[in-house]
Each structure stands twice: as C-alpha cells, then as structure tokens.
Amino acid sequence: MILARPKTVSSILPLVWGMKSLVVAGCQECVTVCQAGGRKEVSCVAQLLEIAGKKRGFLFTIAQVTVFRQCDNEYLAPLDALLKKADACISLGCGVGVQFIAERHPAVMVIPGVDTVGGGGTVIPGVWEERCAMCGECILAETAAICPMTRCAKGLLNGPCGGSVDGRCEAGPDLPCAWEMIYQRLRKQGRLESLTRIRPPKNWAHSGSGAMRKVIREEVMPCLSVQPLK
Amino acid sequence: MSFEPKILAFCCHHCAYGAADLSGALRLQYPVNVQIIRVPCSGRISEEHVLNAFVNGADGVCVAGCLKGNCHYQTGNLRVEKRVDILKNRLSDIGIESERLHMFHVSAAMGAPFARFIEELVETIRGLGPTFGGQEREGGEQLDSRTS
C-alpha cells in the first residue's frame, strides 16, 4: 500500500484562508490503513480547520466525504456535487488521489492534506515501514525477497558494504543490514550461489526518469473499434 | 459578569465515573461548569470526540480514566493518554491553548481528589477565557498575521 503521513493543519490553513466553502476528501484504501486519510482523519482535519477558523473569527463551511478510492475516476462521482460549490478541496488521499481529483475538477484548487511517503506495509499497529522503492525493475527473486533498494541505506545491488557490523548498518544502530538479512535467508534456502553473481548497474530508465511512467495492457483496454451487433 | 467556562468531562465507567459519584455521595462541592459523559473506557475517546466538543463550544475538555495499571480493559487509559498528548500538540498547532485539554487518572475511591482536579481545571480554563473569543463571521477575509 501507499504510506502517507498527515500534514499539520497550520500548514494547510494559510492556503485556504479567506475561502468560504471547503471539502475534505478521504480515501478508504491505503491512507485509511496507515491512518492518515480515512473517514476518521477526515473528521479530525475538518474539525481542526473549523476550530482554527472560529478561533480567528471566521466560519468555514466544511463538507466531509470519504470515497472508496481516490485513484480511480469512477469512484470520484460522490465528490462532483460538493466540488461544484466548493472553493477548495483538501484531499487526504495520496499524491495520486490529489491529482485525480484535480483532473476531474480543474476549476477547483486541490490541496494535499498528507505527505505521501512510499510503498510499504504495517509492521505492528502504529508502525508502517517502506518496502518498495517502485524502481520499476524488481530483483526480489535474487535477493530472497528482501529489497536492497529500500532496506539498504546505500541501495547497493552487490552488498554488503564494509560498514556492516554484527548485522547492523553503519547508517544507524537500529537499522539491520539488508545484505546480512539477504545472506541469512539465502543460506536458509540453500541458495547462496545467488550471491556469487555480480549484478550490473540497474536500468534506472524504468524508475521514473523521463517523466510519468505508464503501464499499458491492451487486452484490458475497452475495444472502441468494435461495433455492437444490430 | 465573570466568565463561566463550559467543560466536558469524559469519565470511564469503572473508575472516574465512580469517583465522581463518590464525591457526590461525600457531599463534596465542585464547580457546576463540568458536564460529565460516562464512557465504557477512557480508551474509547478518540480525537473526533474531543474535537467535536470544541467545535460545539466547549471551553475545556477533560478525559478521566483509571489509575495507571488499573484499567478494567488493561491499557485503554494508557492509549488515550498518548492520544491526548498528540491532540494537545495538534490544538497548539492551530492556536488553541493545550491546557484546555486535560487528562487525569483516578480510582473509584478517589472522590475528594476528583473534586479537587475538577476545581483546578475550572480555574485554569477560567483564566484562559472562552475558546472562541470574538463573534464569528463568514469567510472571505484576507489572510492576516493571526494565521501565521
């Protein structure tokens, strides 16, 4: 899932100051799981904005809505009626959600209410860790399903480096050395020969250099050229 | 006329509400500014509940739970304590005095301390004044120095 952390309301306030009608939009997917932009967080942000406004002598009209998925156009319909009347929308979805809302409603100012961090998961309730750097060229099969791009501080493809001591990374004592973990797991699986292969530099062309990445699957796309039978 | 604050107290069923009840049975006096809401456990109180109280005009909110280690549901009072700390920061962030939100721990046998805590809280909030000082107007104003 996509990890996100909430922005402070004081950083959002100057952007919406002077606007009368606001919509705070949440998303029921990833940001609900990492408790940054679900229904409850929408309610908190809306109420904090309302309190901040009242404290300064202004009344915001704030609508709250949490859609099933902000990164899918078909689920953004519940926002349409609200955004027609609104001056701005604070989206608590990830960066994708913010942009999808803005593309559907180009006349409305859409403000991100969270900072999108990356791809990760829940380790224990309240702790979410990054696991995927979305580099576009997955090598997990060779590294015993431990991602050195996110878990090694240097993002090494051929580790470990000389800074690894007792399985700990030199970047921080709390950080386990990813390559030590890879070695231990490969040893358990009896696949240590995987480490003998020197990996060439990664092809970073897949990683997002050269603007927006795109996944196209023609077999999934609607067949516009086919005419229905009469 | 002096300012009389409106304060909402969320009291857990097993300890704090019992303490409030005991202070009444002991005929102890404490200010009438406090409205008590009984909750099954103080851990039930989320950010939403507290903020909703402020939105609706509360001048102070207090969350009262069991003594540490004595929560009927093990850790509800500890969880809400952390939640209250975070919420205090979020309130200060938007310019609301963090003292308006307060948490204390009592047992059901602590009728007198409960009354004293409430008295102290009312005095603190009275000193701070109302949450929303002025008359609210609809938006449309320019950003001014008060937002920074």
pLDDT by residue (tens digit) across B60-97? 999 999 999 999 999 999 999 999 999 999 999 999 99
C-alpha distance from A21 to closest chain B C-alpha (Å)? 8
Contacts of A50 in chain B (CB under 8 A): 55
**Interchain contact B32–A (C-beta under 8 A):** no
Alpha helices in A105-199 (DSSP H): 148-151, 178-189
Q: Which amino acid is at A40?
A: K
Do the Cβ atoms of A20 and B138 come within 8 Å?
Answer: yes
Question: Rounded to an integer, what distance in angstroms lies between the CA atom of residue B143 and that of residue B30?
Answer: 42
**Interchain contact B95–A (C-beta under 8 A):** yes
pLDDT by residue (tens digit) across A5-22? 999 999 999 999 999 999
- Structure confidence at residue A101 (pLDDT): 97
Residue B145, pLDDT above cutoff 50: no
**Predicted-complex ipTM score:** 0.88
**Strands A21-27 vs A88-91: parallel, antiparallel or unpaired:** parallel
- pLDDT mean values, one per 10 residues, chain A (230 residues): 95 95 97 96 97 94 97 95 95 97 96 95 92 90 94 92 92 93 96 92 76 79 69
Contacts of B86 in chain A (CB under 8 A): none
CATH 3.40.50.2300 fits A2-118, yes or no: yes
CB A120 within 8 A of CB A128: yes
Secondary structure element (H or E) that encloses residue A51, with its range:
helix A39-55
CB A40 within 8 A of CB B48: yes
Question: Rounded to an integer, what distance in angstroms lies between the CA atom of residue A30 and that of residue A225?
Answer: 36
Do the Cβ atoms of B48 and A44 come within 8 Å?
Answer: yes
- Structure confidence at residue B137 (pLDDT): 43
Contacts of A53 in chain B (CB under 8 A): 136, 139
Do the Cβ atoms of A55 and B46 come within 8 Å?
Answer: no
Where do you find CATH 3.40.50.2300 in chain A?
Answer: 2-118
Q: What is the pTM of this model?
A: 0.88
In this prediction, residues B4-12 reach a mean pLDDT of 96
- Structure confidence at residue A173 (pLDDT): 86
C-alpha distance from B46 to closest chain A C-alpha (Å)? 9
Do the Cβ atoms of B139 and A48 come within 8 Å?
Answer: no
